[in-house]
């Protein structure tokens, strides 16, 4: 079975400071992992994905995440937060096997960025 836990429901940072959104996963199979972002009143947008290539994955808007199998983690980071980064972030896992893989979403982390 697969599951994902986002360790913080809310994170608040100052503009220009680093962002860390934590995610731990559980998967019976080698997983694919994703981070999606949802801005207010907008659809979900893929930030980045890990699908068995490099363990450090770079995404859009300066975000990156590192797959750590030993820690079953896939934390999302950004060196310097921008006001426009304020949104809800979802960590997602799916088993990388077979032709159909259901996306399992975490509960989400709401990121607030203040001046």
Partner 1 sequence: GAGVSQSPSNKVTEKGKDVELRCDPISGHTALYWYRQSLGQGLEFLIYFQGNSAPDKSGLPSDRFSAERTGGSVSTLTIQRTQQEDSAVYLCASSPPDRGLNEAFFGQGTRLTVV
User: How many DSSP H helices and E strands does the chain contain?
Assistant: 0, 12
Decide if residue 44 touches partner 1 (CB under 8 A). Answer: yes
CB 112 within 8 A of CB 12: yes
Decide if residue 60 touches partner 1 (CB under 8 A). Answer: no
Among 46, 56, 60, 112, binds partner 1 (CB under 8 A): 46
In the complex, what is the shortest distance from the CB of residue 107 to partner 1, in angstroms, rounded to a whole number?
4
CB 57 within 8 A of CB 49: yes
Query: What's the Rg (C-alpha) of the chain?
Result: 14
Write the binding mask 67 to 86 for partner 1: x where contact by CB under 8 A, - elsewhere: --------------------
In the complex, what is the shortest distance from the CB of residue 79 to partner 1, in angstroms, rounded to a whole number?
26
Extended strands (E) in 3-43: 3-6, 10-14, 19-21, 23-26, 31-38
The residue count for binding partner 1 (CB under 8 A) is 22
Decide if residue 103 touches partner 1 (CB under 8 A). Answer: yes
Decide if residue 10 touches partner 1 (CB under 8 A). Answer: no
Compute CA distances 8 → 13, 20, 24, 99, 113, whole Å.
13, 10, 11, 32, 15
Residues engaged in binding partner 1 (CB under 8 A):
32, 36, 42-46, 49, 51, 90, 94, 98-108
């Amino acid at each position: 079975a697969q599951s994902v836990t986002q360790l913080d429901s809310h994170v608040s940072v100052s503009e220009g400071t680093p962002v860390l959104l934590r995610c731990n996963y559980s998967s019976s199979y080698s997983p694919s992992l994703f981070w999606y972002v949802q801005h207010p009143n907008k659809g979900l947008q893929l930030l980045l994905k890990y699908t068995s290539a490099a363990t450090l994955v770079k995404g859009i808007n300066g975000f990156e995440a590192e797959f750590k199998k030993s820690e079953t983690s896939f934390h999302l980071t950004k060196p310097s937060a921008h006001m426009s980064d304020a949104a809800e972030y979802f960590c997602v896992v799916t088993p990388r096997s077979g032709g159909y893989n259901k996306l399992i979403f975490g509960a989400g982390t709401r990121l607030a960025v203040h001046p």
